[in-house]
Structure 1
């Protein structure tokens, strides 16, 4: 099964719902459903519920639309240098790979919380 055929799941350990609509992404590469993202990540200071990382930077937590419109996709990267677009694409692929194949090295706080 290819990476793109898999669905992202909420990384909140008691949820694990398939994500749709909007989701919350953290700088530590975790993703949460709107309910748990808006609730758990709105605390100050914010702490990732999956790995306990401090999330204090301006872009450490972002809310994203999982199925953006064609117009949004056409405009969001317009004007960026090709190497920047490729770097963004590479990071997005790495995020997906991490989500669908989480590390299994016995860390209790990795992805599954």
Structure 2
């Protein structure tokens, strides 16, 4: 039985296995990827957050422009979030304006 083995079938089998490897690798999760999308749309519009309670999760400096991660979304200076306009983005906080009042959010403030 072992003498009936054909080397060409081994080569075909190996080619099939090697060809399917990239398909399996695409399904592996990269733990270093951020949980949010850092790419801005071409028109500069940002999606609004649905939560009334805003939380500042981080500050990102991308290409010399500071952006704020608020409630899982990336926002830049001048964006309006739940009626608040982002007027300043500092190293560890942002300043929001609404109807003449000012609100300051700090990174991971409780």
TM bracket (short chain): under 0.3
Q: TM-score normalized by structure 1?
A: 0.23
Larger strand proportion, structure 1 or 2?
2
Larger RCO, structure (CA 8 Å, separation 6 or more): 1
TM-score computed with the length of structure 2 as normaliser: 0.24
Higher helix share: 1
